[in-house]
Amino acid sequence: MDYTYKKIWLIAFPVMMSILIEQLINITDALFLGHVGDVELGASAIAGIWFLAIYMLGFGFSLGLQVVIARRNGEQQYSETGKTFFQGFSFLLSLAVALCLLSQILSPVLLKHLIASDAVYNAVIRYLDGRIWGLFFSFPFLALRSFLVGITQTKALNMAAFTAVLVNIPMNWILIFGFGMGISGAAIASSLAELCSLIVLTAYVFRHINRHLYGLHWSMDMTVLKEILSISVWSMLQFFMSVAIWFLFFLAIERLGEMELAVSNIVRSVSALFSVIVNALSGVTSSLVSNLIGAGEKKNVFPLCRRVIRLGYAAGVPLIALALLFHQPIIGAYTDNPTIVQVAWLPFAVMLLNYFFALPGYVYLNAVTGTGATRTVFIFQVTTTIAYLSCLWGLSRWSVPLAAYWSVEYLYAILLGIQAIIYLKYKR
């Protein structure tokens, strides 16, 4: 299998667009809520990350599902890819039901003890009440995306992404300002956008995918589900932990003040655009590595990773330069408060430069995931998280600028990358 730059890009670009669905939803929420109030802007950060932590349980499972589908595709067992998809689809739908119910019961209790400001807490709960039901749309979407990425037919993800954006932006305006629903309107708009993108992707699969070739007929096979879970359980824990530490990060910022929390939400919102490139390329790396191993071409794993990283720098560095050059209008789009625009500049620059470390770190980490060693990846996540949280705890004991908290992200990406490279070099 010869994965050229062009072929990698053609596979990765639609994945970027699909990941952009989740990120643009969060960005749009922040853009609109920044003009409602600083409390709503800050609360949407905490609520969004809390929801994302729950969402990542499904995303982690879908990554394991994608690895198994890609392996079957690489082995040319095409009918098994559809069979594997339906096991994953059924599990994700069941997981959505369980997580929605648990969130409605436990989230208000847990968040009450974690959030210091009553105003922020009440806004967070209003957001979650409308947002959590989006799992019924986003989890089936993840199953469909895993199938399409696994068989390397990703063009439809573009249409789904654009549909979500086209729905989310006007619905945010209508519900937040037209109906005066505030932060609750942003949550409902986001869930509706996910529903529409799911409809588009489902229609595409029914119309354009050869259901007979890929075995797309409903069936249940616990043996296949156990195989997926044996890989996915560690991915689920890994991705949940990766977002949980973001949540702890924002809790630390919330204790600095509502303005610092609002600034950090703006910085996080812009960083989401760059994480789209990183997550798409690293996610595709996982699938391509799995296909290479299925085809017996292990020697091509490192050359593939280097090509993906070069492609990522070619796509991301010009955007970083533009963001640094036009930082004032970018930050100003989120708020009318000139103090926030001024305070946000240094954390904004620190965040942007982390791209140079995050891209190789996550590409090599996902290459390990593509080998099926998801338990090993989880161990890397644990050791890195301990170092990360230790640094945050140390910073919290000193009076340091907000940018210092954001610089800890460098440590996180570098440690993940180093551990992944060592594993790939010395483990057969």
**8 alpha carbon, distance to own chain's centre:** 20
Distance CA 132, CA 104 (A): 8
User: What does the pLDDT read at residue 319?
Assistant: 93
Residue with tokens 């990698």: 8
Rounded distance, CA 50 to CA 343, Å?
A: 25
Residue 78 has what pLDDT? 85
HSE-up of 235 (CA within 13 Å, CB side)? 30
Alpha-helix runs per DSSP H in 174-257: 183-208, 222-254
Q: d(Cα 48, Cα 272) in Å, to the nearest integer?
A: 12
As a whole number of angstroms, the distance between CA 290 and CA 12 comes to 15
Residue 211's domain spans which residues?
A: 5-426
pTM strictly above 0.75: no
**Per-residue pLDDT, 1:** 60
The per-residue pLDDT for 93 is: 95
Tokens 């229609």 identify what position? 203
Sign of CA dihedral 134, 136, 141, 143: positive
Structural domain total, the chain: 1
Q: Distance between alpha carbon 261 and the CA centroid of its chain, in Å?
A: 21
Residue 215 phi/psi, 5° resolution? 65, 40
Residues of the chain with pLDDT under 50: none
110 CB burial (10 A radius; 0-12, 13-18, 19+): exposed
Q: b vs e for 170-186, b when ≥16 Cβ sit within 10 Å of the residue's Cβ?
A: ebbeebbeeeebbbbbb
pLDDT, residue 428, reads 59
Could you give the CA distance from residue 95 to residue 118 in angstroms, rounded to a whole number? 31
- Quote the tokens at residue 308: 């993906």
For residue 343, what pLDDT is reported? Answer: 86
Phi-psi region of 291 (alpha: psi -120 to 50; beta: other; left: phi over 0): alpha
Buried b (16+ CB within 10 A) or exposed e, 302-340: eebbebbbebbbebbeeebeebeeebeebbbbbbebeeb
